[in-house]
């Protein structure tokens, strides 16, 4: 980042008192209600009158709802998260009209994320203690890592996951996030299932398969959940057990990907990856579970924002580039190469490991584009992570 400090989210677990938990649960419910009311109003205005309603109009509606008897309970919680959810709805519609996202959906009590966002007028952060609006006591936060010196959060988001754990996320400008010293190192990264990553250096990083390790525990917990009576307290308890296993899997996966992505960004000036259509790939029923567990999209997202933070270049090569079938030594192209072929010998006499060869070709293709803009229909990622001009094949 140049010019200003990067904004980072620092997420911590906290343990609310009974009164704080009740207040936050009420806030979550009110946020969900206001979001759904505003979405319904905007949808009806468009379908019935072809009229677009913006944030200002829904904000005025919120004031009217608070004055009505039916929705007077909205006055019992802080108004800041309610206004923020209207801003989130505005952003969702902006994404839809720009064709970046689907039409906004109604929030469900059971399925949707339980969260509330507070801006600076909705919280007080002093001497390492965070107190939210409508609360008299600060939150009991486990400060698992230090905040930047003189940290001043611009927004605070409180959430509760399906396992019942409470989290608080603070958005803060971090002066420690700045471009790293320039280096000549570049690496091609090929993702897979047998090995999570194969690098152009020849290094292979094993796939931890976090979901597979806990699959037996997860299946047992899900069977027990299925036997519980719907709506009962025992079913809710069994549901939390299932959610805790899912959370354990997701936490370990995220931690592993963070360590890998940080290491690659710190060690290399240029990183080249393949632009995979993961959404289409998971439609393969035999591979969907393994692909989801590998979390290739999450890994790519991490590389994107960390490359932006630290002044690195991330290049994505078009998914139709034949990285596996192209000899990285002589450049000849094989017509076919089934997935079960893991090693092959080119006519030039070079024997290739399929994945290492693909990573080498990705690196060469990315560097060619970086230097002269030639060749293999790659697409460079802009700082915001959006695709820029896609080069045409020669």
- Provide the H-helix boundaries in 50-78: 55-67
For tokens 């919680």, the residue is 77
Residues 206, 211, 217, 219: what is their CA dihedral angle, to the nearest 10 degrees? Answer: -140
The encoded tokens of residue 206 equal 């094993």
Pick from 184, 127, 176, 177: which is nearest to 152 by CA?
127
Strand partners, 379: 316, 390
Catalytic residue among 275, 304, 308, 355: 355
Catalytic residue among 23, 117, 190, 308: 190
Does 355 qualify as catalytic in the annotation?
yes
The CA-CA-CA angle for residues 101, 362, 274, to 5°, reads: 15
Catalytic residue among 211, 274, 275, 308: 274
Between CA 186 and CA 66 the distance in angstroms is 57
What single DSSP character describes residue 170? E
Strand partners, 118: 156
Between CA 351 and CA 327 the distance in angstroms is 9
* 284-290 long-range Cβ contacts below 8 angstroms, 24+ apart: 287/193, 289/211, 290/193, 290/209
The encoded tokens of residue 117 equal 């966002």
Pick from 344, 382, 376, 351: which is nearest to 363 by CA?
376
Does 190 qualify as catalytic in the annotation?
yes
- Maximum Cα–Cα distance across the chain: 82
Catalytically active residues, by annotation: 190, 274, 355
């Amino acid at each position: 980042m140049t010019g200003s400090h990067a904004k980072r989210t620092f997420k911590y677990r906290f343990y609310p008192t009974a009164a704080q938990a009740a207040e936050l649960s009420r806030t979550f419910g009110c946020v969900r209600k206001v979001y759904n009311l505003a979405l319904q109003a905007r949808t009806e205005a468009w379908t019935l009158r072809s009229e677009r309603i913006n944030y200002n109009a829904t904000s005025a509606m919120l004031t009217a709802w608070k004055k009505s008897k039916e929705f007077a309970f909205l006055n019992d919680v802080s108004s800041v998260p309610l206004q923020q959810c209207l801003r989130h709805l505005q952003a969702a519609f902006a994404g839809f009209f720009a064709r970046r996202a689907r039409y906004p959906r109604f929030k469900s009590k059971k399925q949707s994320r339980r969260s509330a966002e507070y801006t600076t007028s909705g919280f007080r952060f002093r001497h390492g203690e965070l107190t939210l609006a409508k609360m008299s006591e600060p939150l009991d936060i486990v400060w698992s890592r230090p905040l930047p010196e003189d940290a001043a959060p611009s927004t605070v988001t409180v959430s509760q996951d399906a396992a019942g754990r409470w989290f608080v996320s603070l958005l803060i400008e971090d002066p420690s996030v700045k471009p790293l010293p320039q280096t000549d190192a570049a690496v091609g990264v090929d993702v897979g299932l047998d090995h999570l990553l194969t690098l152009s250096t020849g290094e292979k990083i094993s796939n931890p398969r976090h979901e597979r390790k806990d699959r037996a525990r997860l299946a047992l917990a899900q069977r027990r959940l299925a036997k519980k009576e719907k709506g009962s307290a025992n079913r809710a308890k069994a549901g939390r057990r299932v959610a805790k296993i899912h959370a354990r899997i997701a936490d370990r996966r995220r931690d592993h990907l963070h360590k890998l992505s940080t290491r690659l960004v710190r060690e290399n000036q240029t990183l080249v990856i393949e632009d995979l259509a993961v959404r289409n790939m998971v439609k393969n029923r035999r591979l969907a579970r393994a692909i989801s567990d590998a979390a290739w999209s999450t890994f790519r997202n991490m590389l994107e924002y960390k490359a932006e933070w630290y002044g690195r270049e991330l290049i994505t090569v078009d998914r139709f580039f034949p990285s596996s079938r192209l000899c990285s030594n002589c450049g000849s192209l094989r017509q076919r190469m089934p997935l079960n072929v893991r090693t092959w010998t080119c006519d030039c006499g070079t024997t290739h490991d399929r994945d290492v060869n693909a990573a080498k070709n990705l690196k060469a293709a990315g560097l060619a584009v970086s230097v002269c803009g030639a060749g293999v229909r790659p697409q460079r990622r802009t700082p915001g992570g959006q695709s820029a001009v896609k080069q045409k094949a020669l």
